[in-house]
A and B are shown apart, each in its own frame.
Chain A
Amino acid sequence: GAVVSQHPSWVICKSGTSVKIECRSLDFQATTMFWYRQFPKQSLMLMATSNEGSKATYEQGVEKDKFLINHASLTLSTLTVTSAHPEDSSFYICSADPRLAVTDTQYFGPGTRLTVL
């Protein structure tokens, strides 16, 4: 159990285009999902917290108009990178929090590698 999927697993796009990444919790409901970004050979950095039915909370320095987050259901959050540029090329990973009383564990998706040409 506790499986999180992401789609697509990789994407290559031209500069200036928009890319949507989906994060789904397959066998549990997640009122909260998190989006992280990981540049090559670096750590995971939290971008935003996605709450079902409400606006996302963005970390300092993350442009909310560039990284649009929608959490329309308890099993799906989407991240749209608008007007992507080469510096947005990164590994984007989501995690879903089942908010179980017995564990603090959150579950990570497999990641989406974005390459902007």
Chain B
Amino acid sequence: GENVEQHPSTLSVQEGDSAVIKCTYSDSASNYFPWYKQELGKRPQLIIDIRSNVGEKKDQRIAVTLNKTAKHFSLHITETQPEDSAVYFCASDTGRRALTFGSGTRLQVQP
């Protein structure tokens, strides 16, 4: 089955700096890659997603890049703010609509 690896597990940045989280996947059939932000005790919140026919997508301070050949995708957050502090999960979908999640990255933005 699909395996998604996520790095780093924790990331601490200064307010205003950029943060990058990287994921790799194993199944070449994967065609959809969402990123979620989860605050303690709450549901995952979709922040951005990308399909396999697109190499990059941007939404204000958040961007995702996808390299299908290398089977990796990355989340980029620019101009980080304290409210960006949370756990971020990448995920992939092989086409059966169920998601395989990465292990998560705890992002802390220091004011």
Chain A interface residues toward B at CB < 8 A: 32, 34, 42-46, 49, 60, 91, 93, 95, 97, 99, 104-106, 108-111, 113
Q: Is the CB of A108 within 8 A of B32?
A: no
Residues A111 and B49 in contact, CB atoms below 8 Å apart = no
Contact check, B43 vs A105: say whether CB atoms are below 8 A apart. no
Contact between A111 and B104, CB atoms less than 8 A apart: no
Could you jot down 13 A-B contacts, CB within 8 Å?
Answer: A32-B97, A42-B103, A43-B103, A45-B101, A46-B99, A46-B100, A49-B96, A91-B41, A93-B44, A97-B97, A99-B97, A105-B34, A108-B43
Residue among B41, B42, B98, B103 making CB contact with A46, cutoff 8 Å: B98
Q: Decide: B43 and A43 in contact? CB cutoff 8 A.
A: no
With CB as the reference atom, state the residue of chain B lying closest to A95: B99
Given A45-B101, A104-B93, answer yes or no on A111-B42 (Cβ-Cβ < 8 Å).
yes
Q: Tell me, yes or no, whether B29 is within 8 Å of chain A by CB.
A: no
Q: How far is the CA of A106 from the CA of B104 in the complex (A)?
A: 19
- B40-69 vs A: 1/0 string, CB under 8 Å? 011110100101000000000000000000
- Chain A residues whose CB sits within 8 angstroms of the CB of B44 once the complex forms: 44, 93, 108
Number of interface residues of B (CB under 8 A): 21
Contact yes or no, A104 B32, CB < 8 A: yes
B73 at the interface (CB under 8 A from A): no
Instruction: Report B's interface with A, CB cutoff 8 A.
Output: 1, 32, 34, 41-44, 46, 49, 51, 89, 93, 96-104
Chain A hits for B49, CB < 8 A: 104-105
Bound Cα distance from A111 to B32, whole angstroms: 23
In the assembled complex, which residues on chain B have CB atoms less than 8 Å from the CB atom of A95? 99
Nearest-CB distance from A101 to chain B (Å)?
Answer: 13
- Determine the distance from Cα of A93 to Cα of B101 in the docked complex, in whole angstroms: 13
